[in-house]
Structure 1
Amino acid sequence: MNSQELFEQIKIKKSFLCVGLDTDKNKIPAHLLDAEDPIYEFNKAIVDATHDLCVAYKPNLAFYESEGIEGLKSLERTVKYIRSNYPEIFLIADAKRGDIGNTSKMYAKAFFENMDFDSVTVAPYMGADSVTPFLSYENKWVILLALTSNKGAFDFQFMEENGTRLFEKVLETSKEWGTPENMMYVVGATKAESLTDIRKIIPNSFLLVPGVGAQGGSLSEVAKYGLNDTCGLLVNSSRGIIYAGSDEDFALFARGEALKVQTEMSSLLEEKGIA
């Protein structure tokens, strides 16, 4: 999926919502545990209930890898189900990979060829040769970790040298590796005040913004400082949506929470003159 196709979906759905499929077997409704593949059945119900309200899904690989081979099978089934039934959806592998070139090449093959994701989150610490193998795939995306929403972000990301903070150095350097057509950036919603400075460096790039919802980030603040003329945002909510309900009607509760977010997004896009 290219940026224009993604933007068209944002306009059609009046939404820039990404739903995180951080599916924990210990948190899904008890009645699903009798199913042959509880994780897949949970994901399928969430997707069926929310696909018209969001433009992207973001499975977090840790939740599937923690279940061993069966968890990876659940992930594969989830991706295939979305591809078959809702092909307009943008799929993000939240894997946070980043290794030397040969290893990154294999990671890229895994996520883009074998698993058929549109994008994968990548850590930039090892530099260009750990990132560029992902950029060789047409209409596939790297989503580079730039400024994260966790408390530990302050350990390194705000370190300053000659007036430039580390996350700004990451942005300045990495934008030479790719383009706004194949590289997005992770910017945490809890750091919304930094979006003005970030937009000065990468005005045209899409930003994947976690931290809205359970982590306390403000959607209106993110939109105020982060929206550009083609939206340029994918705002993720995981726990606040998928675990909104815990009984047999859990998917209806998930839809209700997703609808609240989409409704606010629609208004924000309209204010910007996009939708």
Structure 2
Amino acid sequence: MREEVFTDLLSRQWAQGRMACVGLDPDMAVVRASVTEPDTEQAITAYACAIVDATADLVCAYKPNIAFYERWGVPGLAALKNIITHINTVAPQTAVIVDAKRGDIASTNEAYRDALFGYFGADAVTVQPYLGVEALRPFLDTRDKGVIVLCRTSNPGSGELQNLQTSGETLYQRVARLAQHDWNTQGNVGLLVGGTYPQEIAEVRTITPTLPLLVAGVGRQGGSVGDAVRAGATAFGGMIISSSRAVIEAAPGPAFAEAARQATIRLHAEIEQARSVVTA
């Protein structure tokens, strides 16, 4: 298990100008078109590790969504562990955020925590706050690991609950306020916000001037990188801009890793261009 503190990993990458994140969410049809290994575990591992090798100097984090590994059972989960081990070896200063959206009663979350931070070796995990802070306590109390709370998600139907009014503000604004002022006692809390809603990103940033924001939904979901960065970046960085399919499926086939690198270079350039406006 890596001993580095999640927030320290991020800060060092932001200091190097890196806010891009690659979502490692393998589609097996794309994997099969890109690598020759017949075994499921080996194929997923080879595919994702090649993308890591091609992009490690450009990103602040990798974000595998656990569902894309769980769907293949034991071989998929073994591949996820292989990939995280590989990242820790070849990119030891780059954080691994497992997108698992966990959140249950405390004893169950202790098991989730031990699996994700212990067995798999993740540096951070996404969680949902619907059960309240008591349920999230096992994650929050693990001070060297990141806890990224779902706040304003990128999907079109997210406002059904997240926009509900409570005590004069929306539910997602209330989550942001709790995260900033009540839940971040160990300095390890961040928020997940959707790149499809830049105005809401700006509102969340106003409430949470110091928390890392993981931005999902740019790329094929239609979110604007520039709008997201202008809405939420800080002078020191402050954001993790994640793109998955637009990077890892840029060009299925033998040249997939180089295509992923070129897509990540474009993502990095978009971030840098927008950030120059923020810091000017």
TM-score of the aligned structures, taking structure 2 as reference length:
0.93
Task: Work out the CA distance in 2 between the residues paired with 1:189 and 1:200.
Answer: 16
1:34 is the counterpart of 2:34: no
3-state secondary structure, aligned to 1:80: helix
Alignment size in residue pairs: 273
Alignment partner, residue 205 of structure 1? 211
Give the alignment partner of residue 8 of structure 1, picking from 7, 12, 21: 12
Alignment partner, residue 128 of structure 2? 123
User: How big is the shift at 1:115?
Assistant: 1.2
Task: Work out the CA distance in 1 between the residues paired with 2:34 and 2:253.
Answer: 8
3-state secondary structure, aligned to 1:8: helix
Q: What do the CA deviations read for 1:32-79 (whole angstroms, capped 9, x no partner)?
A: 253431100100111111111111000000000000011000001001
Task: Work out the CA distance in 2 between the residues paired with 1:254 and 1:24.
Answer: 14
The 1:266/1:179 distance shift into structure 2, 3 A limit, reads farther
1:256 is the counterpart of 2:262: yes
Task: Work out the CA distance in 1 between the residues paired with 2:7 and 2:114.
Answer: 21
Give the alignment partner of residue 117 of structure 2, picking from 105, 112, 123: 112
3-state secondary structure, aligned to 2:30: coil
1:63 is the counterpart of 2:68: yes
Where does 1:47-58 land on structure 2 (aligned, <5 Å)?
A: 47-58=52-63
Alignment partner, residue 173 of structure 1? 178
Percent identity, please.
36
Q: What do the CA deviations read for 1:96-143 (whole angstroms, capped 9, x no partner)?
A: 100000111111111111111110000100111221110222320110
Task: Work out the CA distance in 2 between the residues paired with 1:146 and 1:31.
Answer: 35
1:137 is the counterpart of 2:142: yes
> Which runs of 5 or more structure 1 residues have no equivalent in the other structure?
none
2:99 touches 2:126 (CA, 8 Å); kept in 1? yes
Task: Work out the CA distance in 2 between the residues paired with 1:210 and 1:233.
Answer: 11
The 1:9/1:130 distance shift into structure 2, 3 A limit, reads same
Amino acid at match of 2:7: S
Alignment partner, residue 18 of structure 1? 21
Amino acid at match of 1:157: Q
Task: Work out the CA distance in 2 between the residues paired with 1:180 and 1:196.
Answer: 24
The 1:63/1:164 distance shift into structure 2, 3 A limit, reads same
User: How big is the shift at 1:258?
Assistant: 0.5
The 1:200/1:179 distance shift into structure 2, 3 A limit, reads farther
Task: Work out the CA distance in 2 between the residues paired with 1:196 and 1:31.
Answer: 39
TM-score of the aligned structures, taking structure 1 as reference length:
0.94
User: How big is the shift at 1:219?
Assistant: 1.1
1:243 is the counterpart of 2:243: no
1:180 touches 1:206 (CA, 8 Å); kept in 2? no
Q: What do the CA deviations read for 1:159-196 (whole angstroms, capped 9, x no partner)?
A: 11343111111222233022482000000000111122
